[in-house]
Amino acid sequence: MRAYAVAASLARVADEMVGVAVVLLVLARTGSPAAAGAVVTAYTLPSIVSGPVLGAWLDRTAYRRSVLAGGGVLLAATCVGLAATVGTGPLVVPVLLAAVTGLALPLTSGGYSSLVPRLVAAERLGWANALDAAAFNVGSITGPALAGTVAAVVSPAAAVLLIGVLALAGAVCTGFLPRVDTESREREPLLRTVRAGLVHLVRTPPLRGATLTTVLGYGSVGILATAMPLRAEELGHGRPAAGYLWTALEVGCLVAVALLGRLAAIPRPERTVFASTAVFGLVMFTWPVVDGFAWTLVVVAVAGLAEGLALPAIMSTRQRYTPPDLLAQVSTTGASLKIAGYSLGALAGGWLVPAAGPGAAMAVTAGTQLLAAGLGTTLSAARRKLVD
């Protein structure tokens, strides 16, 4: 698991750098926020389609490490292409490059996480999930800060090329992971395997409830992409100070995972997903009313403590209620749905924040967390199968 943590962390740091470094590169060379948004959207949206298919492929193949490493190599090649083409030719070229790489995006999250149950004994799975969640948090904290620092000190192009270096390093480390066994489904058509995974996701009450909660919850967090900078400005700091707010949130998540992450692997881990999401929403209601930037940092970090357990808990939920030969597909599908939800949330935030203000947008996000927890709990308790 230590070797896994290194490989997964490198891949996730590289992924988390994309949203900052690529935007800065496009803005520096074209001056167009619309162009920057188009490239980032092209990187995130294809995962809606690719997630289930990639997961089904991972469940069938004996070359999981090669597939995961290939995703890192693809990102590295794309970064070289972006550094060479952004601002030097038609915008369609970097958009297509980002879109092709975006197809492999679910591998970085759900793809790597699907390895965890095959690397440790069942009694250590709670600890392993906590370590995996910590790798996500490390990426979320380190990636944006590293991208912004390198872009400011050297250049945005250097930051993009650094993404490629880290992605390639993650791919190399992935190649040294131990080979894991896989249940062969070679005689079954790929699309039938895809359908089997999707049907299982929908027909398993705890799994569908927890998935809905994480998708709605993470989707509404996309609103904060616009709200955070304007809230920082309201509090007397520049918009870039929003980076400190995001860092406080991720630090809170990391502390929660480090101290309590093993508890997420309880007999009913989906309940931890619902409780964590609900408490996160309740604490978030304090964000618009707290006066002062320092106190805002504190309450944001406290909210991170609440949110932190949701990630290892959703991992445990997938593992507990999914057969091994469908786990990769369920994991990548969940990841792609979350990414799509975040993209839509960010799109909604671009309209909501200017219209209602950052405080109201934060309140909407908080309320959506409670709604997500409530709907997830209801779906998890429902015994009626939704697919015949």
The confidence score (pLDDT) of residue 190 equals 66
Check if the beta carbon of residue 329 is closer than 8 Å to that of residue 56.
yes
With a pLDDT cut of 70, the percent of the chain lying above it is 93
Condensed to tens digits (0 to 9), the pLDDT of residues 7-32 reads 888 998 998 888 778 878 887 888 77
pLDDT beyond 90 at 185: no
The confidence score (pLDDT) of residue 263 equals 67
Check if the beta carbon of residue 264 is closer than 8 Å to that of residue 130.
yes
For residues 320 and 336, give the distance between their C-alpha atoms in angstroms, rounded to a whole number: 20
CATH superfamily of 1-178: MFS general substrate transporter like domains (1.20.1250.20)
245 CB contacts (<8 Å, ≥6 apart)? 228, 231, 232, 296, 297, 300
Q: Which residue has the higher pLDDT, 234 or 33?
A: 234
Q: Which residues of the chain does CATH 1.20.1250.20 include?
A: 1-178, 204-381
The confidence score (pLDDT) of residue 386 equals 41
CATH number of 204-381: 1.20.1250.20
Which ranges of 180-326 would DSSP assign to H, the alpha helix?
Answer: 190-203, 205-221, 224-234, 242-260, 269-284, 293-307, 310-321
The confidence score (pLDDT) of residue 246 equals 82
Radius of gyration of the chain (CA): 20
Lowest mean pLDDT segment, chosen from 184-188, 266-270, 335-339: 184-188
Condensed to tens digits (0 to 9), the pLDDT of residues 125-163 reads 777 878 888 887 788 788 887 887 888 788 889 989 999
pLDDT beyond 90 at 165: yes
Instruction: Please give the average per-residue pLDDT across 236-244, as a whole number.
Output: 74
Instruction: Please give the average per-residue pLDDT across 45-54, as a whole number.
Output: 79
Lowest mean pLDDT segment, chosen from 58-62, 198-202, 243-247, 252-256: 58-62
Q: Which residue has the higher pLDDT, 380 or 126?
A: 380
The confidence score (pLDDT) of residue 387 equals 39
Condensed to tens digits (0 to 9), the pLDDT of residues 349-379 reads 878 888 888 899 999 999 999 999 999 999 9
Confidence class for position 388, pLDDT limits 50, 70, 90: very low
Instruction: Please give the average per-residue pLDDT across 164-184, as a whole number.
Output: 82
The confidence score (pLDDT) of residue 384 equals 44
For residues 251 and 145, give the distance between their C-alpha atoms in angstroms, rounded to a whole number: 13
pTM over 0.95: no
320 CB contacts (<8 Å, ≥6 apart)? 206, 269
Check if the beta carbon of residue 25 is closer than 8 Å to that of residue 83.
yes
